[in-house]
Structure 1
Amino acid sequence: MATVQSILETHPHWPAVEDIYHKLGARGYKAFLAGGCVRDALLGISANDLDVATDATPEEIEKIFANTVAVGKSFGVMRVLIGDADIEVATFRSDGEYKDGRRPEGVHFSTPEMDAQRRDFTVNALFYDLNSQEVLDFVQGKADLAKKTLRTVGDAEKRFAEDHLRLLRAARFVGQLDFALEVTTFAALKRMAPKVMTVSGERLHEEMGKLLRTAAVQKGLDVLVSSGLMAELFPFRAEDANGEYLSLAHHTWQSFALFFRQAPLTEVKSQLARLRFSVKEQRAIERVWGLWHQPEEFFKLSLAKQLLKMSEEGVPWALTILKAQKKFLSEIDLLTNAWAKMGETLPKPFLSGTDVQGLQGKAIGDCLAEAFELQLEHKHRSREEALEWLKSYKKKA
């Protein structure tokens, strides 16, 4: 079995972490890897990010390293940039009083033991000592990892009250790790569920997006429903934990499109605005929602018009979902085969605006649109054929 050290060393930013460790150590400071990267290494997984915790203050970190970003200096969080690596380096701390359900009023720099106590879940409160190559566990996180249990550090209700996003993170980590919630943690989650409504749309968007793309997403959705979080956040799915087809999503917006697919369009639009989706993503989600709810209208269109829509964001993917549902199979095959023969991109039109001089207003657009549709249907196979057609079109106009 691979060791924690060997797994950590596979990360492309490992040399930067070693550099940070040695420079801090040379000045008498402690430096440990912290949080999710340690958890994942114990699970045999290479983490996305390597985070460092230290007893050096932010001011001292700025002095030691040439390139730093004070991303959260007042909370002891700095970013150290080395080459193409961007490493978060945070000072061991204890948090002050939480009043807004999001962040502490202030922090006190402390020790690794105290720093572990202020973290959310035991499996996220582990440290790794590069010198001794040992995992430091002050909260029985390793035992919970072995039992595949997600448990808060200390009093669950207090942890959730400190940062209401942790309510949603509980469901997300169940899905991400394929763990079960510890009994008292789940009981506190149910009691505190209404507090999730204080979380900003941007933070909900990010955390829900992560949950919907987890390996064990069904377990995460089950937690949302059974805890009451789903009823608070998405009432239209209060009793619906169905995660069907989410594995077919390639992007976060597609995961949300599937999550919202049974909701009324007015509800979809309201949620997209609340969760601060970009205009481009909103349009894509509404587009695929419309296709899923009225596929017969889409397939009533001419093949040329269907091909035009294939260039719109989300349409080809939406068809893969319909196909997975065993709907309109022959129509989808006809369209996707035609799209594939075109190289999955629309060709350059034979005619342009300069060709339709003499037409005015709406007639210009109508003419070019009709000509392009005839081209897509192979009724115009060359520019010359299109120009011949144009002569007769102008005579009728």
Structure 2
Amino acid sequence: MQSLLQSHPHWPAVESIYHRLQAHGYMAFLAGGCVRDALLGVQAHDLDLATNATPEKVESLFSKTVNVGKSFGVMRVLVEGADIEVATFRNDGTYSDGRRPENVVFSSPQEDAQRRDFTVNALFYDLATAQVLDYVEGQKDLKARVLRTVGDAERRFEEDHLRLLRAARFSAQLNFELEPVSFAAVKKMAEKVKSVSGERIREEMTKLLKTEHADHGLQVMKDSGLMKVLFPFRLRKNDWVKNSLATEAWQRLAMFVRSAQGTELVVVLDMLKLSTRDRRAIEDAWKVWQDPQTVLKNSLGKQLQMLAKEGVVFALRILLSEAVEKTAIEFLLAEWKSWQEVLPRPFLNGEDVKGRLTGPAIGVCLDKAFEQQLERQLQSRDEALLWLKKYLERESS
């Protein structure tokens, strides 16, 4: 375990912070997910520290800090090229909004472990003794591959309603079974997930869909009632096959909403508060999946113009991987590749037809010229100007 932690690129930064805190009389432990992952033989994404030093003390001991939640005891320390979260041991006060405590009281590691969500996320690692500190039997649950809330399950979920969805996400991420009492609490309280902001739901779903066992997490969502509350369209078909072509978050979300009907899609995308770029890409992909002929029935020039939309390209590549319209899509994507997957600059522009055409006729003419260019019937601007001359003669006659 120690060697795995030491292999993390941010280990030198963690050691530097630890030694500085220790030199001033404070304890500091690695905390949460990084300890869990190390025990599972997996390198964590982030190394987080927990300490009995107050945020103000952390701020005074390090030259570069970021206040990300000082009132909740959370600071970030920038040292040796790393950005390390350093949180003060705490007890949480009353949760009145199902999201965050109204106040916190700085406390001990034993008390800090009791306020965390799941036992496997409530472990500490003492750098001085190279020992895991476990106040909640988290190691036992790790060995049993069980996800269990710390303490009373309903209370944990009532404190932060996002934990309902995190139960499904961690089930997928760790490929653990959700312990029966914890599962029963999720099922009983599933409706409360409605109070969670779209941004937080999107973040959790993005993480869930990225995991190797996303199908397990989606099944937990369905069985517990979370799916019915958030994504009822998935009750019709909740299968999930990981596709290596879906590398970006929006692409995995596009695959997730693929089976939604039109009105259902609008509701889901509104809820998830996506960026304009991501929403448009998902919508474009969804339209192609509903009917590939919306692209393939067009002329080659028009098809290539449609491929300028990343959602369309992604959708076609997925269909190709599923052997749908294989010949047509292979040909089209090969043509797209021959253009380096970027539309060229049109040979003709508005200045070329200025005073010669008016209104919509201008756009019609330029569109036809660009189609001819993409189909390689026009190879240069000179050829395009000659084509324009003949086009105008035909139009005038």
- Provide the TM-score with structure 2 as the length reference: 0.96
Separation in 2, partners of 1:319, 1:184: 44
Separation in 1, partners of 2:198, 2:242: 25
The percent of aligned pairs where both chains have the same amino acid is 58
Separation in 1, partners of 2:212, 2:241: 13
On the 8 A contact 2:320/2:330 being kept in 1, the answer is: no
Question: Would you say 1:197 and 2:194 are equivalent positions?
Answer: yes
Alignment counterpart, residue 395 of structure 1, candidates 381, 393, 396: 393
Deviates more, 1:130-139 or 1:5-14: 5-14
Alignment counterpart, residue 258 of structure 1, candidates 251, 255, 258: 255
Q: Which residue of 2 aligns with 1:86?
A: 83
Q: Which residue of 1 aligns with 2:367?
A: 369
Question: Would you say 1:28 and 2:40 are equivalent positions?
Answer: no
Q: Which residue of 1 aligns with 2:36?
A: 39
Q: Which residue of 1 aligns with 2:7?
A: 10
On the 8 A contact 1:374/1:380 being kept in 2, the answer is: yes
Alignment counterpart, residue 72 of structure 2, candidates 70, 75, 80: 75
Q: Which residue of 2 aligns with 1:348?
A: 345
Number of residue pairs the alignment of both structures matches: 394
Shift of residue 83 of structure 1? 4.2
Question: Would you say 1:181 and 2:178 are equivalent positions?
Answer: yes
Letter in 1 for 2:183: F
Q: Which residue of 2 aligns with 1:218?
A: 215
Q: Which residue of 2 aligns with 1:288?
A: 285
On the 8 A contact 2:12/2:80 being kept in 1, the answer is: no
Shift of residue 129 of structure 1? 0.9
Letter in 1 for 2:311: G
Q: Which runs of 5+ in 1 are unaligned?
A: none
**What is the SS of the residue equivalent to 1:343?**
coil
Shift of residue 339 of structure 1? 1.3
Shift of residue 238 of structure 1? 2.9
Question: Would you say 1:170 and 2:167 are equivalent positions?
Answer: yes
Q: Which residue of 2 aligns with 1:331?
A: 328
Alignment counterpart, residue 316 of structure 2, candidates 294, 299, 319: 319
Alignment counterpart, residue 302 of structure 1, candidates 299, 303, 316: 299
**What is the SS of the residue equivalent to 1:132?**
coil
Deviations along 1:245-297, one digit per CA (max 9) or x if unpaired, are: 55541111111111111111121112111110111111111111111101123
Separation in 2, partners of 1:187, 1:246: 32
Shift of residue 239 of structure 1? 5.2
Letter in 1 for 2:112: D
Letter in 1 for 2:225: G
**What is the SS of the residue equivalent to 1:196?**
helix
Separation in 1, partners of 2:215, 2:205: 13
Separation in 2, partners of 1:341, 1:369: 20
| Structure-2 change in CA distance of 1:17 and 1:173 (3 Å) | same
Deviations along 1:192-230, one digit per CA (max 9) or x if unpaired, are: 111111111111111111111111000000000000110
Deviations along 1:141-196, one digit per CA (max 9) or x if unpaired, are: 11111111111111111111111100000000011111111111111111111111
Alignment counterpart, residue 51 of structure 2, candidates 36, 50, 54: 54
- Provide the TM-score with structure 1 as the length reference: 0.96
Question: Would you say 1:97 and 2:94 are equivalent positions?
Answer: yes
Shift of residue 299 of structure 1? 0.9
Q: Which residue of 2 aligns with 1:128?
A: 125
**What is the SS of the residue equivalent to 1:314?**
helix
Separation in 2, partners of 1:251, 1:353: 37
**What is the SS of the residue equivalent to 1:100?**
coil
Q: Which residue of 1 aligns with 2:106?
A: 109
Q: CA RMSD in A?
A: 1.4
Q: Which residue of 2 aligns with 1:138?
A: 135
Q: Which residue of 2 aligns with 1:380?
A: 378
Separation in 1, partners of 2:242, 2:124: 37
Deviations along 1:42-95, one digit per CA (max 9) or x if unpaired, are: 111111111110000011111101111111111111111124311111000011
Separation in 1, partners of 2:367, 2:244: 37
Letter in 2 for 1:39: R
Deviations along 1:293-335, one digit per CA (max 9) or x if unpaired, are: 0112321101111111111122221112212332111111110
Separation in 2, partners of 1:265, 1:83: 50
On the 8 A contact 1:225/1:240 being kept in 2, the answer is: no
Shift of residue 117 of structure 1? 0.7
On the 8 A contact 2:65/2:76 being kept in 1, the answer is: yes
Letter in 2 for 1:211: L
On the 8 A contact 1:212/1:246 being kept in 2, the answer is: no
Separation in 2, partners of 1:20, 1:123: 24
Letter in 2 for 1:89: V
Letter in 1 for 2:64: N
